[in-house]
Amino acid sequence: MADDTPQSDEKVVMVPVKRYDLALSIEDIMTPLTAFVNKSYVGQAMANSPDMKDHAEKLSGLAQQVLDVAKRIEAISPDILSKRRGQ
């Protein structure tokens, strides 16, 4: 692995970078994942590969578990998952 530490004769230039905030919920992330499994072309691939079917079912089950946990957390503290770090 290369050493990224600047040497004493190298100059480090800090470049300002515009910051963007993006608000995504767990549902925004997990719902498309589970929807992908239900697409017809995925179904065709699953029909041809038992391993693919097992992985797709596991992905769907895990996604549902994440959604269930998120709902329980939100029931305890509705805004906890939407808070930004440091607030």
Cα distance between residue 44 and residue 56, in whole Å: 12
Task: State the burial class of residue 14 (Cβ atoms within 10 Å of its Cβ: 0-12, 13-18, 19+).
Answer: exposed
Q: Which amino acid is at 3?
A: D
What was the pLDDT predicted at 16? 92
Average pLDDT over residues 20-43: 75
The reply to whether 38 falls in a domain is yes
The reply to whether 8 falls in a domain is no
**Which residue range(s) make up the domain with 60?**
26-82
**What domain count does the chain have?**
1
85 or 25: which leads in pLDDT: 25
Q: What is the pLDDT of residues 62-77, one digit of tens each?
A: 888 988 888 888 888 8
The reply to whether 41 falls in a domain is yes
Task: Judge if pTM exceeds 0.75.
Answer: no
> Residue 34 to residues 41, 71, 73: CA-CA distances in angstroms?
14, 17, 21
The reply to whether 33 falls in a domain is yes
In the chain, the percentage of residues whose pLDDT exceeds 90 is 2
28 or 81: which leads in pLDDT: 28
